[in-house]
Amino acid sequence: MGFALGKDTRWTFTDHLYTALVGAGFRTFRDNEEIGRGEEIELEIKKSIPGSRSSVVVFSENYASSRWCLDELVMIMERRRTSKHMVLPVFYHVDPSDVRHQTGSFGKALAGHEERFKAGKRGFEEEWMKRRKGWTEALKEAADLAGNVLEAKGYETKFIQDIVEVLEVKLSRTHLSIPGYLVGIDNQVNSISSWLHNGPSDVGIMSIWGMGGIGKTTIAKRVFNLNLGSFDAGSFLSDFAQTFKGSRGVRPLQEQLISEILVGKKRKIRSVDEGIETIRKAMSGKRVLLVLDDVEENDQVDAILGMQNWFCPGSKIIITTRNQQFIKAHRADKIHMVEVDTLPGTLSFKLFCWHAFGEEDQPENYTYLAYRVVARCGGLPLALRILGLYLSGQSVDVWKSTLEMLKTIPESDIQKKLEISYNSLKNDLDKNLFLDIACFFVGEDKDLTVMILNKCGFYPVCGIENLKVRGLLSVDRSNKLRMHQLIQQMGREIIRQKAPNEPWKHSRLWRHEDSLNVLEGNTVRQAISRFFMFLFVSPTTCLPVTYTHSICRGHGQFKV
């Protein structure tokens, strides 16, 4: 961490801040202690800035009187422009507008530098104009960043504590998990990142749209990871549509948003209105990066557009969706749209080979087969990844058999292609575990899921690892089970297709209305006597205990 230090704070405020940062575990650089007496200060500063994750710039009344401070600021801001270097401006008894516009003590200091240039050199004008331009641009750019301002009667101890907390948040954020090998997304990631920084100065909304399995979520996560440090706060709401339509409606999304904006301060929301008011307060004065992953319906878009007034100027909202039409129907002029297309042949082959062989090259006797399998995937990253993982380490005969199966599946039937991986699971325990998770446990805590399934006599720990290896399941940074929506739909369709219009014959019921209809119907006893059935009842549903007692009596295989 590099500091630009004004002489009037070096032995007071800055020293106290330095002590607090070291005490909080930050490896902190400052010029008067880390640089030996005979060393070149400028050279050491140039080394320290690239080696730091962030810089704290303490703007004090006499800051601009130091050419060293101004030159160091130019280097810091240049580093920020070319990397993810985070800069936190601290305004110590200084008005940010004086820094931004070079008025007050900052204007006087620059005038003094000009006089010294005049006195020291002939033909100084060109060099002075170049130097001044660099200083003024760096001052304006730094002042435009969100920073900490010490009010005239503010307490320094509390102020320093706030700075430490900001740095802990910005430098300790856990990045979202994304696949380790990515191809074909750099151009779109760079384009979206450019929009985040150079797009509308007010609240901007972008829609990333494309078919399921195309890589929208991966692109959004990559953009979020790369750009979060440039915002005051951020939140990535996964499975937005599914959670929105759940038994608690929008409240879980509100709770997650509040927790991530306020950095871990969890709060239970009792009503939607309470959530709205809490979010308004949490976002006050903050430039926020918000990603809503998998938005499906009109009312969800209406809710997003209605949120714009809550955000500070410069905040950005990114939506991922498979439905282009309803985005266009909702004030498309206000939403910047980015389409994600399928991968071209060469990139499809690279992605598939990486998952199938662990590298971009492939054994010679598999080359032709690999090209044939890739051709059947239609450039869809999800299908390339799942089939690559399934075929990894398999014999040539298995590859040929898989290719014959793919030939019988229509090009557009993605779920049938994904089902090949499910059918390849080596035992019924893993297959049943996959179906259980697809029906009931996506988005649930992994440890809670393991505990529940252990009570049912299953062996979920090994099974979860087997599903992860196949790419059918993942565990996110919050220890929640995640499954691509197409894979989840594939699992539920396996159950539904055995009796499409007769839910009482399904081995698992995941829709609350189906569960209650079966409980209240006359067919339930027959169904339970022949099928193993999971039933989840909404926490908000009032279900008399006598239902489960009368239904379960004598049917030990029935699980609630």
| Within a domain: 479 | no
Q: Tell me which of 375, 405, 423 is where a domain ends.
A: 423
| Within a domain: 106 | yes
Active site residues: 72
Q: What is the Cα–Cα distance from 253 to 248, expressed in whole angstroms? A: 9
SS3 sequence of 366-383: HHHHHHHHHHHHCCCHHH
Return the CA Rg of the chain: 29
Nearest to 87 by CA among 58, 63, 54, 59: 54
Q: What is the Cα–Cα distance from 164 to 157, expressed in whole angstroms? A: 11
Q: Which of helix, strand or coil describes residue 291?
A: strand
Q: What is the Cα–Cα distance from 278 to 285, expressed in whole angstroms? A: 14
- The reply to whether 6 and 150 lie within a common domain is yes
Query: Is the pTM here over 0.85, yes or no?
Result: no
The Cα angle at residue 78 between residues 74 and 79, in degrees rounded to 5: 120
| Within a domain: 469 | no
Nearest to 56 by CA among 129, 148, 121: 148
What pLDDT does 302 receive?
A: 66
| Within a domain: 314 | yes
| Within a domain: 240 | yes
Question: The CATH number of the domain where 203 resides is what?
Answer: 3.40.50.300
| Within a domain: 371 | yes
- The reply to whether 131 and 148 lie within a common domain is yes
What pLDDT does 331 receive?
A: 58
Q: What is the Cα–Cα distance from 312 to 64, expressed in whole angstroms? A: 29
- The reply to whether 415 and 357 lie within a common domain is yes
- The reply to whether 332 and 355 lie within a common domain is no
pLDDT digits (tens, 9 = 90+) for 493-530: 888 888 777 777 777 877 767 777 776 665 554 444 33
* Enclosing domain of residue 513: 500-560
Regions of the chain where pLDDT drops below 50: 1-6, 33-39, 525-557
Strands 86-92 and 148-150 turn out to be parallel
- The reply to whether 45 and 131 lie within a common domain is yes
What pLDDT does 548 receive?
A: 43
Q: Tell me which of 339, 373, 396 is where a domain ends.
A: 339
- The reply to whether 224 and 136 lie within a common domain is no
- The reply to whether 132 and 202 lie within a common domain is no
- The reply to whether 207 and 79 lie within a common domain is no
Question: The CATH number of the domain where 107 resides is what?
Answer: 3.40.50.10140
| Within a domain: 494 | no
How many domains is the chain built from? 4
Q: Which of helix, strand or coil describes residue 361?
A: coil
Token duo for residue 237: 């709401």
Distance of CA 246 to the CA centre of its chain: 21
- The reply to whether 201 and 325 lie within a common domain is yes
- The reply to whether 278 and 396 lie within a common domain is no
Q: What is the Cα–Cα distance from 348 to 350, expressed in whole angstroms? A: 6
H-helix or E-strand spanning residue 22: helix 13-23
- The reply to whether 135 and 20 lie within a common domain is yes
Q: Which amino acid is at 158?
A: K
What pLDDT does 48 receive?
A: 74
- The reply to whether 158 and 199 lie within a common domain is no
Q: Tell me which of 339, 360, 389 is where a domain ends.
A: 339
Distance of CA 299 to the CA centre of its chain: 23
Question: What contacts 346, CB < 8 A, 6 or more positions away?
Answer: none
pLDDT digits (tens, 9 = 90+) for 339-351: 899 899 999 999 9
What pLDDT does 458 receive?
A: 79
Measured N-to-C along each axis, helices 367-377 and 345-357 cross at an angle, to the nearest 10 degrees, of 120
| Within a domain: 458 | no
In sign, the C-alpha dihedral spanning 301, 305, 310, 313 is positive
